[in-house]
DNA sequence: CCCGAGGCTGCAAGCGTTTGCAAGACTGGT
DNA sequence: ACCAGTCTTGCAAACGCTTGCAGCCTCGGG
C-alpha cells in the first residue's frame, strides 16, 4: 500500500501563501501510513521503536518525513509531564560574566534536544521566586542556577524535594545539589604567589560581598595564601556589590589608610573600581600599586593598563553544568557532585615589582 | 458552604519532604469551591470572568490562592495553540552587542507575562533553520530575529504567511516585517561632522561586511556624509567580518597605501582591530590617526586610548522590539513599522585634530 | 493437530484546559 | 400568571500525544 497524503498537504504552494500552515498531526501520519496513531507514536519514538515491526517503522518514518511531521512537544509534555526544557536563572545577562556561561549551557543542552528558558533575577528575591515558579509551572525538567540565593524558600524546598538542579559559579554548603565553579581558591593562591614573587609584602584584598559565595571563598583563600607566605592577612575591605562603583568606594577606603603596594580584587569590575580610586588619589598602576582582577572578562586586557586577571573558563562552566544536569535528568547520576574547573592567572601590565 | 480542601493539600509538610509535589489542578479548585471546572476556568480567566457571578468568582479565586493553584500553561497551550512564549534568534550571545538587547526583550516581554526562548545561530543557516523550526514546533507566538539571514527559506515563508516577527538591529527591504534599529545613518553623519570639525579631510572607512545590513547602511551613510562635505568618499576598505581580526587585516591594507588622518570603523570591534594595526605600523592614536568606533560597547571608554564611539541604545532596542511584537500579537497593530532609535556620538580620547 | 508463547498492533483512557452549546433560574413586562 | 429574554452554570468535546491492556496472528513444540 502506498501512502496517500491528504490533499491539503500535497496542494502546491500558491504564490500567495495561505495565512496559516496546518501542521500535520500524528493522526495524519497514522492514517496516511495506514496504521493506528498509537503505532505511529511507537514507531516514531526512539524508546518504543523496538515494539513495532521494522517494516512498519520504515513506512511510518517515510510518511512522517514526507509530510514534514514534527511531534508537538506541548501535547507530549502534557501527557508525559516532561518538557525537554530547563530553566536557567542568572542575576543579569548584562554582566559580562554570564553570556559565555549561558552560551555554554545552551550549546550543551541544545545538543541533547533540550531548550532553555532564561530569566534575569537581578538578585531580587521576589523576581527570583516568581521566575522560578513560572518555570516550574512550565514543567521545566530541571534548573541551572547562577544566583546565590538558595535561601529562597521555594527553591530550597524544591531542592529538598529532589527537583533536578545544579548551581554554577556559586557554591552552597547547606544543601546537596551539584555545583560547578572555577577553582577560585587556587586562582587566588596563584595570584598571591605572583605578587609575592614580584616582591610585594603589603598586599590588600578588595573582597566581593560575603553573602555571595565567591566573595567568601576568595576572601578565605586570600587569608590562607597570605598566611602561607607568613604575611599579614588582615588588609581586607569588603565591597558592597560586584560593581565598579562599589570597587571604587572600597578601594578609596583602603587608600585612606596606609597605601598597600598591591591589591587583589575579588573581581574584574572591582579591579576597575580600584583603577578609578587610584586615579582619584593621583596614584599610578602599576608603578605605585599593582592590581589583579578575577574572571578575565573580554577586553579586560585592553584596559589602561592591561589588567592582570585570573581566567575562569566560563563557557566550559556552562557546558559542565549542563552535562551534570543531563546526567541527573537521565537518571544516570543521582548523587550531587562538586566540579571545580581549573583557572589560570593571566599576567599583564597591571602588576609590577613594588617601587623602591 | 465552606471550601473543604482535599486532604493531600492540608497535610502538614513533613520534616522529610515527599519527593514530588502534586500541583493542584483546575479540577481540584473546582471541587473545593463546589463548582464545575468550566466555571472555575472562566472565573480565573481574565477575559471570561464577566460571564460568572461575582460571588462565585470571589469564592473560586480564594480557593485557588489557598491551594496555591497555578494554571498549567502546557495544557492551556495545547487547547488554545498559543504559548505565551516568543522565540529570540541571535547570532551569538557572547558578542557584547546582544546581551543588552536580549535583556531589554526579556524585561519587556516578561512584564506582559511572556517568556522567551533564545537560540544562538552563529549565522549558520543550518542552525538557524533548525532552531527556527524547533521554536515553531514549541508553538511560540512570535519571533524576534537579530540575525540578518532572512533569506532562510523557512523564515521567509513564515514571514510571508504572517507569522508575527520583528527584526532588531538588522534591516531588510525585501520583506515587510517590523524593524527596530539604531539610526546608523545619522550616527555616521555625526561622526564625519565631528572629524571634519577637528580639521580632518583625509578620512577612511573600515566597513563591516556588506551582506550584513549594518555594514551596507553605514557605508552608504559614510559616502553620503563625505560627499556632503565635498570630500572624497572612496577611501573604503571592507572587513570580512565584524571581528577584531578582520578589522586588523582591513586596516593594515588601508595603512599600506597613503595613511589617512582619521578612520571611521564600522564597529567597535573593527576599531580595536585598527588599534592593533596602528600599533603594528608604529603609529599613534590619536596623534597620527584618529579612530571612531560604533556601538559604544561596555568598557570601550577604558581602552588605550578611550575610544570615541557612537552609542546605540541597545537595551531600548530590545524593549522596543518586544513592544512591537506585543502590539502585533495583541492584534492592535498589523502593518509593519520601522523604528529607528536615536544614537549619540560619545567623544573620547581616540579623536584629535590631525597632526600639523 | 492443538496449545502456549511471543511478536505486533489496536483500543481507549487520560494529561489539564478551554469553549460552544444548552439547560436551568430569574427578571420584568404584559 | 405567563413568556421572552438575560444571567449563570454545567456538560462534553476537543487539543495531540502516550501507554497499559488486550486481542490477534504466527510459530514451534508436544
pLDDT digits 0-9 by tens, A164-175: 999 998 776 666
User: Are residues B272 and B126 part of one domain?
Assistant: no
User: Are residues B302 and B192 part of one domain?
Assistant: yes
Strands B165-168 and B178-182: parallel
Strands B344-346 and B308-311: antiparallel
CB atoms within 10 A of CB B305: 20
Report the protein residue whose CA lies nearest the C1' of nucleotide D18. Answer: A79
Q: Is the pLDDT of residue B190 over 80?
A: yes
Using CB atoms and an 8 Å cut-off, which of residues 125-144 of chain B contact chain A? Answer: 133-135, 137-139
Is A111 in CB contact (< 8 Å) with chain B? no
Q: What integer best gives the mean pLDDT of chain A?
A: 89
Residue A138: strand, helix, or coil? coil
Query: Are B308 and B291 spatial neighbours (Cβ–Cβ below 8 Å)?
Result: yes
Question: Which band of pLDDT confidence, cut at 50, 70 and 90, is reported for residue A2?
Answer: very low
User: Are residues A129 and A55 part of one domain?
Assistant: no
Query: Are A309 and A292 spatial neighbours (Cβ–Cβ below 8 Å)?
Result: yes
Q: Which CATH number goes with the domain that contains B277?
A: 3.40.50.2300
- Domain end residue (candidates: B71, B99, B115): B71
Q: What span, in angstroms and rounded, lies between the C-alpha atoms of B234 and B354?
A: 20
Q: What is the pLDDT of residue A174?
A: 64
Residue B335 CA, nucleotide D17 C1', distance (Å): 36
Q: What integer best gives the mean pLDDT of chain B?
A: 89
Share of chain A above pLDDT 70, in %: 92
Residue A263, phi then psi, degrees to nearest 5: -125, 130
Tell me which chain A residues have a C-beta less than 8 angstroms from the C-beta of B160.
Answer: 17
- A351 found inside a domain: no
Tell me which chain A residues have a C-beta less than 8 angstroms from the C-beta of B83.
Answer: 74
Which residues of chain B (45-84) touch nucleic strand D at CB < 7 A? Answer: 50-56, 75, 78-79, 81
Q: Is the pLDDT of residue B122 over 80?
A: yes
User: Are residues B159 and B39 part of one domain?
Assistant: no
Residue B4 CA, nucleotide D9 C1', distance (Å): 21
Lowest mean pLDDT among A89-103, B160-174, B275-289, B342-356: B160-174
Lowest mean pLDDT among A4-8, A151-155, A192-196, B163-167: A4-8
Long-range contacts of B131-135 (CB under 8 A, 24+ apart): B131/B87, B131/B89, B132/B87, B132/B89, B132/B158, B133/A70, B134/A115, B135/A115, B135/B87, B135/B89
- A235 found inside a domain: yes
User: Are residues A208 and A167 part of one domain?
Assistant: no
Q: What is the pLDDT of residue A115?
A: 92
Question: Which band of pLDDT confidence, cut at 50, 70 and 90, is reported for residue B151?
Answer: low
Residue A337: strand, helix, or coil? coil
- A353 found inside a domain: no
Residue B198 CA, nucleotide C22 C1', distance (Å): 81
Distance from CA of B287 to the nearest CA of A (A): 17
- b/e per residue A46-66 (b: at least 16 CB within 10 A): eeeeeebeeebbebbbebbeb
- Give chain A's length: 356
User: Are residues A193 and A172 part of one domain?
Assistant: no
Q: Is the pLDDT of residue B255 over 50?
A: yes
Share of chain A above pLDDT 90, in %: 70
Lowest mean pLDDT among A14-23, A249-258, B135-144: A14-23
Q: What is the pLDDT of residue B18?
A: 52
Distance from CA of A79 to the nearest CA of B (A): 9
- pLDDT digit string (tens) for A279-328? 999 999 999 999 999 999 988 998 889 999 999 999 999 999 999 999 99
Q: What is the pLDDT of residue A11?
A: 33
Distance of CA A196 to CAs A301, A347, B175, Å? 22, 14, 62
Query: Are B167 and B178 spatial neighbours (Cβ–Cβ below 8 Å)?
Result: yes
- B267 found inside a domain: yes
Question: Which band of pLDDT confidence, cut at 50, 70 and 90, is reported for residue A20?
Answer: low
Distance from CA of A144 to the nearest CA of B (A): 15
Q: What is the pLDDT of residue B175?
A: 67
User: Are residues A294 and A208 part of one domain?
Assistant: yes
Distance of CA A337 to CAs A166, A181, B19, B260, Å? 9, 11, 20, 58
- B144 found inside a domain: yes
Cα four-point dihedral sign B268, A121, B321, B150: positive
User: Are residues A133 and A205 part of one domain?
Assistant: no
Q: What is the pLDDT of residue A346?
A: 97
* Residues B303-307, mean pLDDT to the nearest whole number: 91
Residue B269, phi then psi, degrees to nearest 5: -65, -45
Residue A128, phi then psi, degrees to nearest 5: -65, -50
Q: Which of A89, A119, A146 is nearest to B107 (CA)?
A: A119
What is the number of domains present in chain A? Answer: 3
Q: Are residues B107 and A119, on separate chains, in Cβ contact within 8 Å? A: no
Q: Is the pLDDT of residue B14 over 50?
A: no
Question: Which band of pLDDT confidence, cut at 50, 70 and 90, is reported for residue B15?
Answer: very low
Tell me which chain A residues have a C-beta less than 8 angstroms from the C-beta of B100.
Answer: 94
- Domain interval for residue B61: 7-71
- B190 found inside a domain: yes
Return the residue of A nearest to B160 by Cα. A17
- A349 found inside a domain: no
Q: Is the pLDDT of residue A134 over 60?
A: yes
Q: Is the pLDDT of residue B57 over 70?
A: yes
Amino acid at each position: 500500500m502506498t501512502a496517500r497524503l491528504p490533499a491539503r498537504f500535497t496542494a502546491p504552494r500558491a504564490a500567495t501563501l495561505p495565512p496559516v500552515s496546518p501542521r500535520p498531526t500524528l493522526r495524519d501520519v497514522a492514517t496516511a501510513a495506514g496504521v493506528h496513531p498509537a503505532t505511529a507514536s511507537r514507531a516514531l519514538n526512539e524508546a518504543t521503536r523496538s515494539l513495532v515491526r521494522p517494516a512498519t517503522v520504515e513506512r511510518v518514518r517515510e510518511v512522517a518525513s514526507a509530510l514534514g511531521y514534527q511531534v508537538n512537544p506541548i501535547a507530549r509534555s502534557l501527557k508525559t509531564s516532561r518538557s525537554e526544557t530547563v530553566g536557567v536563572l542568572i542575576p543579569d545577562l548584562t554582566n559580562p560574566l554570564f553570556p559565555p556561561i549561558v552560551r555554554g549551557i545552551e550549546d550543551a543542552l541544545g545538543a541533547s534536544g533540550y531548550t532553555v528558558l532564561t530569566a534575569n533575577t537581578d538578585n531580587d528575591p521576589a523576581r527570583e521566586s516568581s521566575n522560578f515558579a513560572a518555570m516550574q509551572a512550565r514543567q521545566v525538567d530541571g534548573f541551572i542556577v547562577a544566583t546565590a540565593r538558595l535561601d529562597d524558600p521555594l527553591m530550597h524546598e524544591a531542592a529538598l524535594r529532589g527537583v533536578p538542579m545544579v548551581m554554577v559559579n556559586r557554591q552552597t554548603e547547606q544543601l546537596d545539589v551539584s555545583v560547578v565553579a572555577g577553582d577560585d581558591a587556587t586562582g587566588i593562591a596563584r595570584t598571591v604567589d605572583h605578587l609575592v614573587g614580584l616582591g610585594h609584602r603589603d598586599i590588600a584584598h578588595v573582597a566581593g560581598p560575603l553573602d555571595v559565595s565567591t566573595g567568601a571563598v576568595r576572601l578565605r583563600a586570600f587569608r590562607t595564601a597570605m598566611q602561607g607566605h607568613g604575611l599579614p592577612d588582615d588588609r581586607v575591605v569588603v565591597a558592597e556589590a560586584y560593581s565598579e562603583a562599589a570597587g571604587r568606594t572600597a578601594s578609596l577606603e583602603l587608600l585612606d589608610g596606609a597605601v598597600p603596594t598591591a591589591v587583589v580584587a575579588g573581581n574584574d569590575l572591582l579591579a576597575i573600581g580600584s583603577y578609578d580610586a587610584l586615579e582619584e588619589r593621583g596614584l599610578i598602576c602599576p608603578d605605585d600599586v599593582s592590581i589583579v582582577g578575577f574572571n578575565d572578562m573580554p577586553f579586560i586586557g585592553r584596559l589602561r593598563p592591561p589588567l592582570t586577571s585570573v581566567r575562569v573558563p566560563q563557557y566550559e562552566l556552562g557546558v559542565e553544568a549542563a552535562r551534570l544536569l543531563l546526567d541527573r535528568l537521565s537518571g544516570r547520576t543521582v548523587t550531587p557532585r562538586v566540579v571545580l574547573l581549573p583557572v589560570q592567572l593571566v599576567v599583564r601590565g597591571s602588576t609590577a615589582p613594588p617601587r623602591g
